[in-house]
Chains A and B, each alone.
Chain A
Amino acid sequence: EVQLLESGGGLVQPGGSLRLSCAASGFTLKNYAMRWVRQAPGKGLEWVSTISVDGAGTYYADSVKGRFTISRDISKNSLYLQLNTLRAEDTALYYCAKTSGDSFDSWGQGTLVTVSS
């Protein structure tokens, strides 16, 4: 059974940093592109970032480009998202998602990031 478990969220001041983790089980990370999606309180979903199957390609939404970095550790079967220069508008529940073609076929339960002074 595919499982994704996010961690690393919390309360951070504007301008601060956080590193989110997503531990995968039930499948091998290196065989799939992976994505991060966020959901601000009471709002819709927003695609944040993708890492390609071979890990060489990384892609970002304009709203986070230059501030967030996606990465993975195959040996730990884990996905990461480094969040820098955080803003109030980055406050959201952050989900990691496994891809199937161009869809998001498995999701974690999310980790909450709150940016506030």
Chain B
Amino acid sequence: QSALTQPRSVSGSPGQSVTISCTGTSRDVGGYKYVSWYQQLPGKAPKLMIFDVTERPSGVPDRFSGSKSGNTASLTISGLQAEDEADYHCCSYAGNYIWVFGGGTKLTVL
């Protein structure tokens, strides 16, 4: 049950696009279409932003999009806004009723 690998931090200016990667193995990210992404504002609980690799829950802006290639999933935020500054966590199903998270990425809006 090894954690997925995310960059510790990324940054971008308002209006730009940023992409956060999430690398696993063929036993988790690469093996299932069950990658999700969570936004965690400072001092708050996580919020679901993307599920099943590419799907957005109702109410999540379409500036947020997800994708996957091989063992790496990605979250892209376009038209960056100050309110997007937060920690982002990826998660994947890993088989046998096990889920694994990444270490989290801190997004700074410059």
Q: Do A and B bind each other?
A: yes
Chain B interface size, under 10 / 10 to 19 / 20 to 34 / 35 or more: 20 to 34
Whether A95 pairs with B1 at a CB distance below 8 angstroms is no
Q: Which of A43-74 contact B (CB under 8 A)?
A: 43-47, 50, 57, 59, 61-63
| CB of A31 closer than 8 Å to a CB of B | no
A44 to B48, CA, bound (A): 15
Contacts A44-B102, A45-B38, A107-B47 given; indicate if A101 touches B91 (C-beta within 8 A): no
CB closest chain-B residue, reference A46: B101
A-chain residues with CB within 8 Å of residue B57 when the two chains form the complex: 105
Picked from A45, A59, A61, A100, the residue with its CB within 8 Å of the CB of B51 is A100
Residues of B within 8 A of A104 (CB): 36, 38, 46, 48, 91
Say whether B89 contacts A44, CB under 8 Å: yes
Which chain B residue lies CB-closest to A58? B97
Inter-subunit contact A107/B91 (CB<8 Å): no
Partner pick for B98 among A43, A61, A95, A101, CB 8 A cutoff: A61
A61 touching B89 in the complex, CB below 8 Å, given contacts A44-B103, A103-B48, A103-B52: no
Query: How many Å lie between the Cα of A65 and that of B104 in the bound state?
Result: 24
The CA of A57 and the CA of B98, in the complex, are separated in Å by 12
- Binary contact readout B19-53 vs A (1 if CB under 8 angstroms, 0 otherwise): 00000000000001010101000000111100110
- Closest residue to A110 on the B side, CB-wise? B45
Can you list 23 A-B pairs, Cβ within 8 angstroms, ordered by A?
A37-B46, A43-B104, A44-B89, A44-B102, A45-B89, A45-B91, A46-B3, A47-B100, A50-B97, A57-B97, A59-B96, A95-B45, A101-B52, A102-B34, A102-B36, A102-B51, A103-B36, A103-B52, A103-B91, A104-B91, A106-B48, A107-B47, A110-B45
Closest 7 CB pairs of A and B: A103-B51, A102-B34, A59-B97, A44-B104, A103-B36, A107-B45, A47-B99
